[in-house]
Amino acid sequence: MTKEREILITEVALRDGSHAVAHQYTVGKVLAIAKGLNEAKVPYIEVSHGDGLAGSSLQYGFSRTNELELIEAAVSVCDTSKVAVLLLPGIGTVKDLKQAASLGVKMARVATHVTEADVSAQHIDVAKSLGLETVGFLMMSHMASVAQLVEQAKLMESYGADVIYMVDSAGALLPHEVTERIKALKEYVGVEIGFHGHNNLSLAMGNTLAAIEAGATRIDGSIRCLGAGAGNTQTEVLVAVLDRMGIQTGVDLYKIMDLAENVVAPILPKPQEITKDSLVLGYAGVYSSFLLHAQRAAEKYNIDSRDILIELGRRKVVGGQEDMIVDVATEIAKESKSQSLTS
């Protein structure tokens, strides 16, 4: 790798990290974090509910603060960084996208399950018409073959996406699997390729470096590892590692470190670490945002949350099927009760 190579980082703590704080961000917290990220010259800052625009709901979790207020707050303190939003078709609408754009958002990331890129066509087209840099975001990429991933990425490219992301939503991929997928995308897709990882198997950094080695130029990070499950690739660590490798990010290392230590760490409900539950997310290949939902269901039905997650993985449940968590929990609880009565 040479000094000429550059990686553009998107900071996701104000979106993916929303899961970790149960969507309880306030305007004050978003202002403080976004201001610090801007001063550290992080290129992109993603702000929205953890499940994207309009995600605040009974099924996904209600936001403490209207996400449009949070987006507006972030935009107000960013003169270097660009604010981005995530949109999942079927949750967020074209109207939501237009509202976000009117507040000064510069990037839209349109996310679908890895085999459902066809539902992104309208939203990618509208994002482009609004003058937004547009990203196709293929979630749960471990659930598709390399050929399927390439096929779906090419669909998003044909709709007008400027960048295609391979997203390891469950933190389930191993480095060689990341390498194989990114190399294939680089070979067959004509736009920039990005990678978004989760740390459920303690492989977020390893997988990110594998993606970069294979040709990815857009990378997601989460300051202080603030993201769903065990969090994402830790931004301040990533900046330091890439600097050691001679890869430019444009991010001020001291400022991003200070922001992580002095502003972000104090708002964490608990330190981001790999617990038994987040480990099972990666092991079973379950969507990282299911963690808190599964833990709450386990407590309600007095069962082991790992049993819920393993069964969700066996059923290949994907993002948007959060209602299945309670269904699985009740089934496990009934089975456990039946076994106790017959033993």
Q: Which residue has the higher pLDDT, 64 or 3?
A: 64
Question: Would you state the structure tokens that stand for residue 241, as one six-digit string?
Answer: 């590692």
Q: Is 165 annotated as a binding residue?
A: no
pLDDT given at position 3: 45
Residue 269 confidence (pLDDT): 84
Give the torsion through C-alpha atoms of 15, 21, 26, 31, to 10 deg: -50
Of residues 324 and 261, more confidently modeled: 261
96 is in an annotated binding site: no
Residues 27 and 119 reside in one and the same domain: yes
Residue 340 pLDDT level (bands cut at 50, 70, 90):
low
The pLDDT of residue 45 = 98
**Same-domain check for residues 131 and 171:** yes
The count of structural domains within the chain is 2
* Residue 16 among known ligand-binding residues: yes
* 188 shares its domain with 304: no
CA pair distance 152, 195, nearest whole angstrom: 15
Task: Indicate whether 4 pLDDT > 70.
Answer: no
Could you give the 3-state DSSP secondary structure of residue 75? helix
Q: Quick one: which H or E segment has residue 112?
A: strand 107-113
Length of the chain: 343
Q: Where does the pLDDT of residue 342 fall: very low under 50, low under 70, confident under 90, or very high at 90 and above?
A: low
69 and 211 part of one domain:
yes
Residue 328 lies in a domain: yes
Is 44 annotated as a binding-site member? no
Examine residue 313 and state whether it is found in any structural domain, yes or no: yes
Determine whether the annotation assigns residue 198 to a binding site.
yes
Mean pLDDT of 255-272: 94
Mean pLDDT of the region 36-65: 92
The answer to the question of residue 137 being in a domain is yes
Residue type, 283: Y
Torsion (CA) 233, 235, 238, 242 in degrees, nearest 10: 140
CATH of residue 131: 3.20.20.70
Q: Final residue of a domain: which of 241, 267, 293?
A: 267
Same structural domain, 260 and 287: no
The pLDDT of residue 195 = 98
Average pLDDT over residues 34-42: 98
- Check which CATH number belongs to the domain holding 316 and give it: 1.10.8.60
Please, which residues have CB within 8 angstroms of residue 24's CB and are 6 or more apart in sequence?
63, 64
Residue of 88, 122, 109, 82 lying closest to 163 (CA atoms): 109
**Choosing from 19, 49, 123, 293, which is the catalytic residue?**
19
Same-domain status, 257 and 282? no
pLDDT of residue 322: 81
Examine residue 2 and state whether it is found in any structural domain, yes or no: no
Domain holding 307, by residue range, is: 276-342
Structural domain ending residue among the three candidates 223, 248, 267: 267
Is residue 92 domain-resident? Answer: yes
Final residue of a structural domain among 209, 237, 267: 267
Q: How many CB atoms lie within 10 A of CB 6?
A: 12
Q: Over the stretch 290-321, which tens digit does the pLDDT of each residue have?
A: 888 899 999 999 999 999 999 998 998 887 78
Question: Is position 244 annotated in a ligand binding site?
Answer: no
Q: Is residue 113 part of a domain?
A: yes
* 246 and 323 together in one domain: no
Distance in angstroms (rounded) separating the CA atoms of residues 256 and 250? 11
55-59, 188-192, 204-208, 237-241, range with the lowest pLDDT: 55-59
Query: What's the whole-model pTM score?
Result: 0.92
According to DSSP, the residues that pair with 218 across neighbouring strands are 8, 194
19 in active site: yes
Query: In this model, does residue 242 exceed pLDDT 80?
Result: yes
| 85 and 232 assigned to the same domain | yes
Q: How confident is the model at residue 1 (pLDDT cuts 50, 70, 90)?
A: very low
Nearest Cα residue to 196 out of 224, 161, 222:
222
Question: Same domain, yes or no, for 140 and 195?
Answer: yes
Q: What is the mean pLDDT of the chain?
A: 94
- What would the two tokens of residue 340 be? 């106790």
167 and 92 assigned to the same domain? yes
259 within domain boundaries: yes
CA distance 256 to 49: 23
Q: Do both 228 and 284 map to the same domain?
A: no
Tell me, yes or no, whether 52 and 131 share the same domain. Answer: yes
Q: Is residue 3 part of a domain?
A: no
CA 74-78-79 angle, to 5 degrees, is: 160
Residue range 178-194: average pLDDT? 98
Q: Which of 182, 161, 146, 119 is nearest to 320 (CA)?
A: 119
